[in-house]
DNA sequence: TTAACATGCAATCTGGAGGTTGCACGTATG
DNA sequence: CATACGTGCAACCTCCAGATTGCATGTTAA
């Protein structure tokens, strides 16, 4: 298909990385991945920021497709949605693979002279 | 010894993701991974932004330890530094693994009742 | 019903990210 | 040498991410 290596990443994983590119958000993701689904209030504890700030972070993560919140009575329970996490990992793999191929090409080129 | 971004991921994994969390930067990384090391001018072509903007992006990537530029005559040649990429991938793997474990725990808990 | 709890919504503030233009400086090349 | 090329540096602008406070709404428990 697309022989253009650089365009193999045409889909946009940047938004996922951007979502993970914040200390607080990354910690939130880690906590949601480690424990059971939790309410906003519980997730707020220990972050050092306001509940409203945590709410915004959760919305950013949700917009990136990384987490999902479900209403449960008077609270909203948030949990990981690992699909796009896999996508992000695949993007990194792709870049690494391209780099390996480029290295091999360079090596072959040098040895040919 | 090691450059500034050496343990950027160990201390602040978010900074690496933040560096990748920009369309232009991610495309730059992809191009550097796909082709030979390139000068700023060449990397600027096709980005739709100024050379100075590209320079800033490259500096952000370098601060995160993802790329490295070496002076070569009157130009500076930039290339991937794949170590941080591997570490970033490992971070995603860790989160996924934690999520799997949490899922298994939940399942076991449900089945126990 | 009433009170405490969990969340949502809105207005506001501030710092920095991303971009540009303009100019200066070293380096190759005619 | 003279000139074009590649880059660095600095000032400046705009916009939005991150955070806060205050109040409103819905839900559970006493």
Which of B11, B18, B77 to substitute to test the interface with A, most A CBs within 10 Å? B18
pLDDT of residue A97: 95
Q: CB distance B21–A15 less than 8 Å?
A: yes
Give contacts of B18 with chain A, Cβ < 8 Å.
17-18, 21-22
Residue A2 within any structural domain of the chain: no
Q: Report yes or no on A7 lying in a domain.
A: no
Determine the structural domain holding residue B92 and report its residue range: 9-111
The answer to whether residue B3 is domain-embedded is no
Chain A segment 31-70 residues within 8 A of B by beta carbon are: 33-36
**Model confidence at A58: pLDDT above 70:** yes
Does some domain include residue A4?
no
Q: Closest residue of B to A9, CA-based?
A: B30
CATH of the domain at B46: 1.10.10.10
How much is the pLDDT for B107?
Answer: 85
Condensed to tens digits (0 to 9), the pLDDT of residues A68-87 reads: 999 999 999 999 999 999 99
pLDDT in tens, chain B (113 residues): 334 434 444 557 899 999 999 999 999 999 999 999 999 999 999 999 999 999 999 999 999 999 999 999 999 999 999 999 998 999 999 999 999 999 998 888 776 65
Q: Is residue A17 part of a domain?
A: yes
pLDDT of A106 = 82
Give mean pLDDT, residues A103-112. 80
Query: Any idea of the CA torsion for B46, B52, B58, B62, to the nearest 10 degrees?
Result: 170
Q: Residue A3 domain-assigned?
A: no
Residue B46 distance to chain A (closest CA, Å):
12
Q: In chain B, which residue's Cα lies nearest the Cα of A79?
A: B99
Residue B96 lies in a domain: yes
Tally the domains of chain A.
1
Q: Is residue B31 part of a domain?
A: yes
């Amino acid at each position: 298909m697309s022989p253009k290596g650089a365009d193999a990443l045409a889909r946009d994983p940047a938004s996922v990385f951007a979502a993970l590119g914040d200390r607080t958000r990354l910690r939130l993701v880690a906590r949601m991945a480690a424990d059971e689904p939790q309410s906003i209030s519980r997730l707020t504890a220990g972050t050092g920021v306001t509940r409203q700030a945590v709410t915004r972070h959760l919305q950013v993560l949700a917009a990136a497709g990384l987490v999902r919140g479900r209403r449960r009575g008077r609270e909203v329970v948030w949990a990981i949605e690992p699909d796009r996490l896999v996508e992000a990992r695949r993007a990194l793999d792709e870049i690494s693979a391209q780099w390996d191929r480029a290295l091999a090409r360079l090596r072959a080129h040098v040895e040919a002279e």
